[in-house]
Amino acid sequence: QSALTQPPSASGSPGQSVTISCTGTSSDVGGYNYVSWYQQHPGKAPKLMIYEVSKRPSGVPDRFSGSKSGNTASLTVSGLQAEDEADYYCYSYAGSNTYVFGTGTKVTVL
């Protein structure tokens, strides 16, 4: 149950795009299409942004998109807005009824 690897930080100017990677193994990210992404503002509970690799829950702006290639999943935020500044975590099913989060990425809007 090792944490999935994310870059510690990412940044972009308003209106630009930022992409966050989430690297695991064939036993988690690469083995299942059960990758989800969460946004967490300071002092708040996480919020589901993407599930099953690329599906968006109702109410999440279409500026948020997800994808996966091999053992790496990605979250792209297009048209960055000030309110997108937050921590982002990926999360994957890891087999044998266990789950694992990524290390987290702090997104800064310049």
Partner 1 sequence: EVRLVESGGDLIQSGGSLRLSCAASGFTVSSKYMSWVRQAPGKGLEWVSVIYSGGSTFYADSVKGRFTISRDNSKNTLYLQMNSLRAEDTAVYYCAKGDSALDSWGQGTLVTVSS
| Positions in the binding site for partner 1 (CB under 8 A) | 1, 3, 32, 34, 36, 38, 40, 45-48, 51-52, 57, 89, 91-93, 96-104
Q: Read off the tokens for 58.
A: 């109702």
Report, in Å, the least distance between residue 86 CB and partner 1: 13
Report, in Å, the least distance between residue 81 CB and partner 1: 22
Report, in Å, the least distance between residue 95 CB and partner 1: 11
Which is nearer to partner 1, 17 or 23 (by Cβ)? 23
Three-state DSSP class for residue 83 = helix
Given a contact cutoff of 8 angstroms between Cβ atoms, the answer to whether 37 and 89 are in contact is: yes
H or E element at residue 50: strand 47-50
Which is nearer to partner 1, 9 or 79 (by Cβ)? 9
**How buried is 66 (Cβ within 10 angstroms: 0-12 exposed, 13-18 middle, 19+ buried)?**
buried
Report, in Å, the least distance between residue 45 CB and partner 1: 4
**Residue 102 identity:** G
